[in-house]
């Protein structure tokens, strides 16, 4: 465990924030970490909500998106909408090699033959670089999205990336998310209205059928529901 925050402090923070509104959790993170706090966003509805809330509380923290080179045009257009709406910078953090260079190196699209490696090279490695020097990051995960995410805490130590993880929307449901989006007229990805409840890279994201899990369209046909950013081990619980 890092000296940045002790196990006891983590437990106290979770007790303090148990049942707290997401804005209060965000305020706690901003007050606790200040400029050492950052947030990655893939512009899902939850991420859009957090951007809205950060703007409302006047938190000027670094926001960034992992631009794999395979994002939907609609996703990148949403970034521009959010910047215009809230006046917050949202940096694009790219992999070292362009998709064309990367595919030449591997003899074709690696997302077809080895999606785990593709996610690692184009998301995990850039994320490690982007998080360097920070002590905490905000994520938009919800406990009801997957079995792995259900094990997360509101405040937890992220052993994979070596910093604290703040999850303000952890206890929200999908219904909560969309009620907030609608009532606050928050911009969101139009792909959500076309059968894509969860949007990632276009080669690995499909529309889902009625009644399917909301992450069923991610890496459809593979035994995979996470790219690795939010998969947990026992040291993150």
Domain boundaries along the sequence of the chain: 7-193
Residue 46 · residue 169 · CB < 8 Å: yes
Name the maximum alpha-carbon separation found in the chain: 52
At residue 76, the pLDDT reads 98
**How many degrees, rounded to 5, is the angle at CA 226 between CA 76 and CA 158?**
95
Model pTM above 0.75 = yes
User: Which residues belong to the annotated binding site for [4Fe-4S] cluster?
Assistant: 118-119, 201, 204
pLDDT digits (tens, 9 = 90+) for 70-87: 999 999 999 999 999 999
Output the six-digit token pair for 119.
């996610």
Instruction: Tell me the Cα Rg of the chain.
Output: 17
Residue 151 has pLDDT above 90, yes or no: no
Question: DSSP E strands: which ranges in the chain?
Answer: 37-40, 62-67, 91-94, 136-138, 155-158, 163-166
pLDDT class for 227, splitting at 50, 70, 90? very low
Binding residues: 118-119, 201, 204
**pLDDT (tens digit per residue) in 187-216:** 999 999 999 988 999 989 988 866 656 656
Confidence band of 219 (pLDDT split at 50, 70, 90): low
DSSP letter at 214 equals T
Residues annotated as catalytic are 227
Query: Confidence band (pLDDT; 50, 70, 90) for 149?
Result: confident
> Could you confirm whether domain 7-193 is CATH 3.40.50.620?
yes
Under the banding of pLDDT at 50, 70 and 90, the label for residue 3 is very low
| Amino acid 230: pLDDT | 45
pLDDT, position 221: 53
Tens-digit pLDDT profile for residues 93-105: 999 999 999 999 9
């Amino acid at each position: 465990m890092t000296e940045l925050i002790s196990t006891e402090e983590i437990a106290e923070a979770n007790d303090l924030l148990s049942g707290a509104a997401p804005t209060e959790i965000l305020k706690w993170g901003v007050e606790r970490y200040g400029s050492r706090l950052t947030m990655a966003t893939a512009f899902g509805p939850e991420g859009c909500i957090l951007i809205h809330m950060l703007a409302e509380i006047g938190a000027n923290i670094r926001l960034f998106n992992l631009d794999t080179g395979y994002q939907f045009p609609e996703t990148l257009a949403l970034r521009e909408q959010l910047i215009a709406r809230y006046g917050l910078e949202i940096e694009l953090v790219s992999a070292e090699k362009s998709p064309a260079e990367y595919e030449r190196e591997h003899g074709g699209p690696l997302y077809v033959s080895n999606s785990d490696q593709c996610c690692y090279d184009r998301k995990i490695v850039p994320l490690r670089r982007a998080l360097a020097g920070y002590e905490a990051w905000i994520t938009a995960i919800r406990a009801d999205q997957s079995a792995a995410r259900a094990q997360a805490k509101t405040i937890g130590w992220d052993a994979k990336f070596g910093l604290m993880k703040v999850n303000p929307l952890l206890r929200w449901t999908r219904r909560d998310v969309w009620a907030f989006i609608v009532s606050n007229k928050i911009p969101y990805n139009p792909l959500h209205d076309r059968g894509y409840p969860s949007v990632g890279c276009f080669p690995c994201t499909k529309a889902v059928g009625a009644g399917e899990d909301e992450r069923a369209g991610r890496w459809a046909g593979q035994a995979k529901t996470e790219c690795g950013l939010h998969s947990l081990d026992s040291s993150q619980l």
